[in-house]
Every structure is written in C-alpha cells, then in structure tokens.
Amino acid sequence: MSVICVCLSPGFQRSVIIDSLIPGEVNRLKSVMVDAAGKGVNVCRVLQRLGIDAFCLAQGGSNADELMSLARLEALNLRLIPSSGRLRTCTSIVETSMVTGSRVTELVEPSSPVDESCVNTMSQTVQALLPSATALVFAGSMAPGYPAGYPARLASMARKSGVPVLLDVQGPVLLDTLAARPAVVKINLAEFAATFLPGRFSGGEHGGVLAEALVSADIMNAVSEVSRHHATSFVLTRGAESILLARDGEVRSRPVPALPAEQIINPIGSGDAFLAGMLAQLLTSCSNPDWDNLPLEALEKAIGLATACAQSNARSVRPGLLEDSFATSRWSLIDAGSRLRKVRR
C-alpha cells in the first residue's frame, strides 16, 4: 500500500550559493546543486525519508531521462508519463552573507504544455493504482494542457475508491476540488484568504494583517465561517507564526517552535516537507482513521512532526530535503514530533 503523490508541474531545481547577489554585475557562484523537484516530488521524497511507502506520478518530457537519472541517484520513487514538452528548471539563488540568516530569490520557469495522450494515460494510471493506495496527495500547480477541473477529477476517482485525498492547492483549483470532499487541505493563511476571502484582509504571507504575530478575531471568525461550508479539515500555516486548524466551524491556533533566523538557509520546499510529515504522522499513529471526520486532535498531534520536517528543510540548501542529521527511523521522527508538542505546552 503506497501514498500516490501527483505532481503536474515537475522539473529540475537548481540551487546556487553565492555570498551576495549584485544586480547588473558578474556574480560568481560558490556552488551549484541540481535536484528533481516539484511540490509533489518534494512531498514524496520526504515521505520516503520518513519510512512511508510512497511514489510520485508526474509527466515526463524530452529531457525526462535526466530527471530519472537524478531520481535514481537518491532512490526517489518517481514514475513519469511520457509527454513531448521539455521539463522546466527553476532556480533558487541563496545568498549567505546576510547578517541574519540567508536570503533566497526564486526564479520560476513556465511549464511546457502536456500532450492529450499524457493526460489520458495519467488518468488511467491513477485509476489503476488507487486500489492499492493509502492516500492521494495533490500538490502544486498544473502545466498547460491539463483540462480545467483535472485535479477534481482525480480527487473524485480517489473518493469513489475510498482513498483519502490531501491537497496543497489554491484558487479555482481548490474550489473545484472541494466537491470531492478531501480529507485535509494544507495551504498557508494568505492562500486561504485569497481563495475564500478575496479583498477582505490586507497583505499576504509576509506582510499585512495576515502576517501579524497574533491572529485577529475577525480572521479567526472568517476561517470558522468558511470551514462550516466545507466537509474537510483545513491546516493553515503562517511561516514562523502559529498554525490554524479548522473543521466544522471550530478553529484552533497552535504556536510554532521558534527557529532562529541565522539557522534558516532555504525555506523553499518547507511547506511540502510539512505536508509529508503531517501525513506520515497520521498514517502511523492513527489506526483506521476516519478521514471523513478527522478530529482536530489528530491534526494537533500531527503538526509536531510536520513542523520538525519543515524546519529541517529550511536549514538545508536543497528544497524538499531533510538534514542528514535528521533521524532516519520514522519512529524516532514521530518521537521528535512529540517532543516538539511538549515544548509548546
């Protein structure tokens, strides 16, 4: 039984290290690393590191052999559906000479369109794999060529097969997919507000009222109202600030253990690591969980390991990876999550 991680915008992640980026000048890099990437790829990688049986299903391209070579080097279970477009390369520029921690600039290439035959094969492959799946994770954006409502179609297939769905998507894609009653929606608060409460609150993930240390009563009430209308559990991250958990109108706020700024190297992929850690905890600590009515208490327990994974990723240069020093046994990792919860209390 495996977790299926669907990634409809895979590619290469090029992480470059530089003392300080000077626009308009020649900049010499200290090091360069290239990894297989994409949100679904990152989730799969962390799940495997935690000892969870998982694989990532994504489209290939004219340079798919290069991506598969990288996957084999790290024993990443990546399965690619043939397509003719070229897989994109995104670049993280990590400046290490900042006084407090690093500064990261992300350059994101557009994805190439996928072929209709790829879409059809992807659907058939997911359908064939669902009978042996423990969960379906859909994370990230879609490349051009996938039809509108495609994630909702896959989620509905999983729903009919009795497989729980976890989402990390936003906007119209999220609104469409909610009809399939996903078990968990994990996005940040700014994405939640832009999707369900457009124009109601100022700012975003890094500024304005949504980024304030204390969540206002107006925001808590708005989250509560949205959650009453959707049969799912919401996990809303806020970077280094608190995490909001919501279901059926009940909203809980839980603090995040502080991570010193000087320890943060590259936060890209931390949200994916969080989702993987949360799912790993739910799968290993809950026997036959009722995914349709997942209690907030179960999510509270899961965010300890989730946060530990996210912070480990932030202390790493490469996205979607855990530090080498991070315990390799999933049981010791889950114990680490428990220790984090004790610190919060």
Distances in whole angstroms, Cα of residue 71 to Cα of each of 34, 291, 297 = 11, 31, 36
Are 151 and 159 contacting, i.e. CB atoms less than 8 angstroms apart? no
Domain 2-344: give its CATH code: 3.40.1190.20
The C-alpha atoms of residue 114 and residue 8 are separated, in whole angstroms, by: 9
CA 73 to chain centre: 22
Q: At what angle do helices 296-314 and 330-344 cross, to 10 degrees?
A: 100
Q: What pLDDT, on the 0 to 100 scale, is given for residue 173?
A: 96
Q: What pLDDT, on the 0 to 100 scale, is given for residue 100?
A: 67
Q: What pLDDT, on the 0 to 100 scale, is given for residue 212?
A: 84
**For the stretch 22-48, what's the b/e string if a residue is b when 16 or more beta carbons lie within 10 angstroms of its beta carbon?**
eeeeeeeeeeeebbbbbbbbbbbbbbb
Q: What pLDDT, on the 0 to 100 scale, is given for residue 327?
A: 57
Per-residue model confidence as pLDDT tens for the chain (345 residues) = 899 999 999 999 999 999 999 999 999 999 999 999 999 999 999 999 999 999 999 999 999 999 999 999 999 999 999 999 999 999 999 999 876 678 999 999 999 999 999 999 999 999 999 999 999 999 999 999 999 999 999 999 999 999 999 999 999 999 999 999 999 999 999 999 999 999 888 777 777 888 888 899 999 999 999 999 999 999 999 988 899 999 999 999 999 998 888 889 999 999 999 999 999 999 998 767 789 989 999 999 999 999 999 999 999 999 889 998 875 544 454 554 444 444 333
Are 4 and 136 contacting, i.e. CB atoms less than 8 angstroms apart? yes
Domain layout of the chain by residue ranges: 2-344
Closest alpha carbon to 298 in 319, 314, 313, 283 = 283
